[in-house]
Amino acid sequence: MRRIEGIAVQSAVAPKLNITPLETTASLRMLAYEAIKKAITEMDIYGHPQEIRLDERQLSQDLGVSRTPIREALTLLEQEGFVRSVPRRGIFVVRKSKREIIEMILVWAALESMAARLAAERATDSDLESLRHVFDQFQNEKPEEHPDEYSQANITFHQTIIRLSGCQLIADMTENLFIHMRAIRAVSMRQQDRARRSIEEHMAIISALESRDVERAERLVREHTLGLAAHVEKYGVFYE
């Protein structure tokens, strides 16, 4: 307390910032999360009968971090439905049942067909032209002779349609479906001459987009994806 001309004045107390201590493992947790999620995305989840078990110790060694951020990253991935914890057995990559796979494809068909409609309206000519370049390698080569390369081109094609829609919500909604859709398409490309038919359907979709035919672009993408659902229903071999 101090006095100014005989008047007692209470000294002002500087306000204290309400700061929460930093979580020193937060960045490592997210880096681990992103790395493991990316690895799961690139896995052949449905291509073999064995369940894919994630080894916490091996992940720690591979990523060069302690097991704490690995454990936290796996918790986040479990909350998002990418992995599941089985008591006394470990943590496994989630694989959907055949019924669940078909339901996911139906949802994807609805979202991507709308994305194609928006892309036909919004995308620039150069953006649409870039779709053709996705398949440059297969102008003189048969896609079924290069299944891995074609599978990647196929995924890039569908991701590009989503991006060219210019709708962030569609992109967000398809993000978590993408891990399973990628793996399902990779398996189906090796079955029943689907790779050849797939590229023919892709070229028709590109033509519809380039001609700005929104109705046809939407319909072709929907039919293309529903064709995948019918294929899985008839031929798909996925492991419960």
Ordered domains of the chain (ranges, CATH): 26-93 (1.10.10.10), 98-235 (1.20.120.530)
Q: What's the angle, vertex CA 171, arms to CA 150 and CA 161, rounded to 5? A: 45
Q: Six-digit token pair at 108?
A: 């994807």
Taking the C-alpha atoms of residue 135 and residue 202, their distance in angstroms, rounded to an integer, is 9
Taking the C-alpha atoms of residue 164 and residue 123, their distance in angstroms, rounded to an integer, is 6
Which residues 6+ apart lie within 8 Å of 221 measured at CB? 109, 112, 113, 115, 116, 161, 205
Taking the C-alpha atoms of residue 128 and residue 146, their distance in angstroms, rounded to an integer, is 24
Does this model's pTM top 0.75? no
Q: Six-digit token pair at 112?
A: 């991507």
Each residue's pLDDT, cut to its tens digit, for the chain (240 residues) gives 555 455 444 545 555 555 455 455 568 888 888 888 888 877 778 777 788 889 999 999 888 889 999 999 999 999 988 899 999 899 999 888 889 889 999 999 999 999 999 999 999 999 998 898 888 888 778 877 777 788 888 888 999 999 999 999 999 999 878 888 888 887 777 766 777 788 889 999 999 999 999 999 999 999 999 998 998 888 765 544
One-letter amino acid at 62 equals D
Per the CB < 8 A criterion, the answer to whether 156 and 133 are in contact is no
Q: Torsions phi, psi of 92, nearest 5?
A: -125, 150
